Amino acid sequence: MFDKLLENCIFEEDDPSPKDMQKFEQDTRDHINKVRILIERVCSELSKRASEHDASKLGKEEASSFAEVTPKLKSSPYGSDEYKENLRSIQPALDHHYSVNRHHPEHFESGIQGMNLVDIVEMVCDWIASSSRDPSGNIEKSIDISQERFGFSNDLKQIFLNTVKFLKE
């Protein structure tokens, strides 16, 4: 692919020497390879997260509590007093869930600021999936509520909205 791109390059009088061109090409190929390796690492971690997402909810520490409250959560608007009360009713299970699942801001002492991009991607996917459980669910409204709840910036909020738009396309 890179060779094809080089064929289309038009150089002026100050064309690089063949040696400079060779060095440039090797440096660029090295850069492309490093980026590829890093993206593959992110993809690998996301694939692992996709396979293991919320598996702790099926364990003894969480299953019975979540089985009891999930139907109630589905019928209470996200962020409402009723929603918060339902969560409080299973606080021990929720504490365990947050402690073993990095895609929740509550996992980190510093909240969302402690997260990395892989955590954020999983979190946004989780938010979209959660909001789609309820026919009246609205991911954009959920992001507004989450911004108030977790205190993230307008810039990050817009990135979340852009991601939602991308995933809906």
> What whole-number distance in Å separates Cα of residue 14 and Cα of residue 67?
71
- Residue 122 in domain: no
Q: What is the mean pLDDT of residues 36-55?
A: 98
Per-residue pLDDT tens over the stretch 102-144: 999 999 999 999 999 999 999 999 999 999 887 778 999 999 9
pLDDT at position 14:
73
Tally of domains in the chain: 1
pLDDT at position 15:
81
> What whole-number distance in Å separates Cα of residue 167 and Cα of residue 121?
11
Of the two residues 73 and 143, the one the predictor is more confident about is 143
- Residue 139 in domain: no
Give the residue numbers spanning the domain of 22. Answer: 16-52
Using pLDDT thresholds of 50, 70 and 90, give the confidence band for residue 42: very high
- Residue 44 in domain: yes
pLDDT at position 121:
98
Using pLDDT thresholds of 50, 70 and 90, give the confidence band for residue 155: very high
- Residue 40 in domain: yes
The average confidence (pLDDT) of the chain is 92
Residue 64 has pLDDT above 90, yes or no: yes
Q: Which of 32, 75, 118 is nearest to 126 (CA)?
A: 118
pTM for the predicted model, two decimal places = 0.85
CA angle 109, 114, 115 (to 5 degrees): 130
> What whole-number distance in Å separates Cα of residue 22 and Cα of residue 49?
41
Per-residue pLDDT tens over the stretch 77-101: 888 899 999 999 999 999 999 999 9
Share of the chain above pLDDT 70, in %: 92
- Residue 102 in domain: no
- Residue 118 in domain: no
Q: Which residues contact 131 (CB under 8 A, 6 or more apart)?
A: 78, 137, 138, 139, 142
